[in-house]
C-alpha cells in the first residue's frame, strides 16, 4: 500500500508515476477527497468530545453546589448521541479511504521502462545458444504424451481442462527439478519452509491479491480460506503484524508449494501443455530486507534464478518489465524467459520483484532502525523456478529425433544416474 502521506504531500508526483501504470488522476483525487473528509470528521469529533468533557465538568460542579443540572445533563446526552453518530460516519469514511488506497498499485522505480502494455520491456542480457536440432522440434506435450510421461486427457477427465497427470519418469523429472531448486536455494542462503497451502483473507490482502484480484483465485465458499496462488503469500505473511529482529535482516525463505490459479481472462491462451495450468508446482524465494538493501537483493535473486537456468543449460534472457506489465505490488520486476523451441520464442519462467515497503505496509511488517524507530521492511519475491515450465523447457530443448529426451547433467544424480527419458 502506498504511504498516504506521500499521496497528500507529493500528489503530482504520485499522479505522474501511477499514470504510467494506467491509474487515472481521478482515482487519486477521490482518495484525497475521502481522506480530507476523514480528517475533517476527526477534528469535528475531537471538538465535540472536548465540549462533552467541559459539560461533564460543569455538571459535576452544579451537583457539588447542589444546583439543578438537568439542562446540562440533557445537553450532554445530545452531544454524546451526536458523537456516536459522527464516529460511525468516521468509521465508514475511514474504511472508504483504506479501500481506495488499497486498490492503487505500487509506485514504479525510476529505472522501470514506461509503457501501458508489455511492449517496451528492456532486455538486460541473454545467455545460451538457441538449439539447432536438424529436424523439426516437437512440442513438449507431444513429446510427453508419446513417452507416456504426461497425461492431459485423464487430467481433464478427472479435474477439467488445464490439469494433468505426471506419470513415471515425468513425475520423477518434476521431483528432480524441485529438489535441485531447493538444494541450490539453500546453498544461496535461503531457509526452506513448508508453509500452509490455504490462507485467510488478511493474508491475501497483505500480499496484494485482495481486494483487486479475487477473481484470479480459488476460495472456499463457506470459510475464510483461499488456495494459495503462490508461496509468496504464506511466506510474506509469516511476519504479518510482527517486528523482525534487526539482526536477522535480511531474512531469506524458499518453499516448494503447489500454486492454484483460475487464469481468469486467459481464455484461448496456452490451452495445451504445461505453460498455463490451474495447478502447478513452483519453488518460490522471498526476502525481507532493510530499505537500503532491497535493490541489491533484487539483483542477487535475479542472478541466482539465472544461475539455475545456466546449470540446466537452458538458453534464456532477462528483461525488465514495463510499468504496467509488472505485478500490482512491484516497484520493479525482472523476468527470466526461457527458450521454447516449438513456439520459437522465449517464455516467462521466473519473475523477480522488489515490492519495496508496499506489502509491508499492508501486512504491517516492521523492524527497528539504528535509532530504535520502527520502520517498514522491504519485501522481495521471485520464482526459483516454476517447475512445470522448466519441465516443458527441458523436454523441448533436450529432445532427440527418436522421441527420447536427454536429462541435463545436474539432474542426473536426482534421477538415480538416469541419462535419458525413453518410452516405458
Q: What is the CATH number of the domain that holds 376?
A: 3.30.930.10
In a domain, 108, yes or no: no
Per DSSP, the three-state class of 287 is strand
User: Domain total for the chain?
Assistant: 2
In a domain, 110, yes or no: no
pLDDT in the model for residue 56: 83
**68 and 199 inside one domain:** no
pLDDT in the model for residue 215: 86
Q: Is the pTM of this model over 0.85?
A: yes
In a domain, 414, yes or no: yes
The question of whether 184 is a catalytic residue gets the answer: no
pLDDT in the model for residue 213: 86
Distance (Å, whole) CA 409 – CA 387: 17
Task: Taking the CA atoms of 144, 147, 149 and 155 in sequence, report the sign of the dihedral they define.
Answer: positive
pLDDT in the model for residue 78: 86
pLDDT in the model for residue 54: 84
10, 27, 58, 348: the active-site residue: 348
In a domain, 385, yes or no: yes
In a domain, 111, yes or no: no
User: 42, 69, 103: which is the final residue of a domain?
Assistant: 103
Q: Spell out, as residue ranges, where the chain has pLDDT lower than 70.
A: 264-269
Closest CA to 111 of 349, 285, 330: 330
**172 and 210 inside one domain:** yes
**376 and 316 inside one domain:** yes
**354 and 382 inside one domain:** yes
pLDDT in the model for residue 385: 96
Q: What is the pLDDT of residues 346-371, one digit of tens each?
A: 999 999 999 999 999 999 999 999 99
Task: Name 260's Cβ contacts closer than 8 Å, sequence gap at least 6.
Answer: 217, 218, 227, 228, 229, 278, 279
pLDDT in the model for residue 268: 62
CATH number of the domain that residue 59 is part of: 1.10.287.40
**97 and 197 inside one domain:** no
**27 and 71 inside one domain:** yes
Binding-site members are 230-232, 261-263, 284, 348-351, 381, 383
Query: Are the beta carbons of 336 and 305 closer than 8 angstroms?
Result: yes
Domain residues for the domain of 197 are 122-421
**155 and 15 inside one domain:** no
**312 and 241 inside one domain:** yes
21, 162, 172, 261: the active-site residue: 261
Distance (Å, whole) CA 60 – CA 140: 84
The question of whether 348 is a catalytic residue gets the answer: yes
Binding-site members for L-serine are 230-232, 261, 284, 381, 383
**190 and 98 inside one domain:** no
**386 and 324 inside one domain:** yes
Q: What is the pLDDT of residues 91-102, one digit of tens each?
A: 999 999 999 999
351, 362, 363, 396: the active-site residue: 351
103, 240, 276, 347: the active-site residue: 276
pLDDT in the model for residue 367: 98
Closest CA to 304 of 235, 385, 232, 230: 385
Distance (Å, whole) CA 36 – CA 186: 49
Distance (Å, whole) CA 281 – CA 232: 13
Amino acid at each position: 500500500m502506498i504511504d498516504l502521506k506521500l499521496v497528500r504531500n507529493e500528489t503530482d508526483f504520485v499522479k505522474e508515476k501511477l499514470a504510467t501504470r494506467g491509474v487515472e488522476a481521478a482515482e487519486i483525487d477521490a482518495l484525497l477527497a475521502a481522506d480530507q473528509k476523514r480528517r475533517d470528521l476527526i477534528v469535528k469529533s475531537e471538538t465535540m468530545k472536548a465540549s462533552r468533557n467541559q459539560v461533564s465538568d460543569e455538571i459535576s460542579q452544579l451537583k457539588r453546589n447542589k444546583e439543578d443540572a438537568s439542562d446540562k445533563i440533557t445537553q450532554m446526552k445530545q452531544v454524546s448521541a451526536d458523537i456516536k453518530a459522527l464516529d460511525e460516519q468516521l468509521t465508514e469514511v475511514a474504511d472508504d479511504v483504506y479501500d481506495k488506497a488499497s486498490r492503487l498499485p505500487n509506485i514504479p522505480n525510476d529505472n522501470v521502462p514506461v509503457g501501458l502494455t508489455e511492449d517496451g520491456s528492456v532486455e538486460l542480457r541473454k545467455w545460451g545458444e538457441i538449439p539447432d536440432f536438424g529436424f523439426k522440434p516437437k512440442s513438449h506435450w507431444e513429446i510427453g504424451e508419446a513417452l507416456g510421461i504426461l497425461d492431459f486427457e485423464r487430467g481433464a477427465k478427472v479435474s477439467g481442462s488445464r490439469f494433468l497427470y505426471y506419470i513415471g519418469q515425468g513425475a520423477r523429472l518434476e521431483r528432480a527439478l524441485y529438489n535441485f531448486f531447493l538444494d541450490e536455494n539453500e546453498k544461496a542462503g535461503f531457509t526452506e519452509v513448508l508453509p500452509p497451502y490455504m490462507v485467510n483473507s488478511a493474508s491475501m490482502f497483505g500480499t496484494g491479491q485482495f481486494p483487486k484480484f479475487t477473481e484470479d483465485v480459488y476460495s472456499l465458499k463457506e470459510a475464510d480460506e483461499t488456495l494459495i496462488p503462490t508461496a509468496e503469500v504464506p511466506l510474506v505473511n509469516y511476519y504479518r503484524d510482527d517486528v523482525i529482529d534487526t539482526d536477522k535482516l535480511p531474512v531469506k525463505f524458499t518453499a516448494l508449494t503447489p500454486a492454484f490459479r483460475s487464469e481468469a481472462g486467459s481464455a484461448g491462451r496456452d490451452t495445451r501443455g504445461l505453460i498455463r495450468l490451474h495447478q502447478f508446482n513452483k519453488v518460490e524465494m522471498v526476502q525481507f530486507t532493510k530499505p537500503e538493501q532491497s535493490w541489491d537483493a533484487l539483483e542477487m535473486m535475479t542472478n541466482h534464478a539465472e544461475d539455475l537456468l545456466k546449470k540446466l543449460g537452458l538458453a534464456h534472457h532477462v528483461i525488465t518489465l514495463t510499468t504496467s506489465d509488472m505485478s500490482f505490488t512491484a516497484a520493479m520486476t525482472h523476468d527470466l524467459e526461457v527458450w521454447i523451441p516449438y513456439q520459437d520464442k522465449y517464455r516467462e519462467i521466473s519473475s523477480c520483484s522488489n515490492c519495496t515497503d508496499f506489502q509491508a505496509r499492508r501486512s504491517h511488517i516492521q523492524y527497528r532502525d539504528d535509532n530504535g524507530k520502527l520502520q517498514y521492511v522491504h519485501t522481495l519475491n521471485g520464482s526459483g523456478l516454476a517447475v512445470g515450465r522448466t519441465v516443458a523447457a527441458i523436454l523441448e530443448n533436450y529432445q532427440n529425433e527418436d522421441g527420447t529426451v536427454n536429462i541435463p547433467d545436474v539432474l542426473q544424480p536426482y534421477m538415480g544416474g538416469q541419462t535419458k527419458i525413453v518410452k516405458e
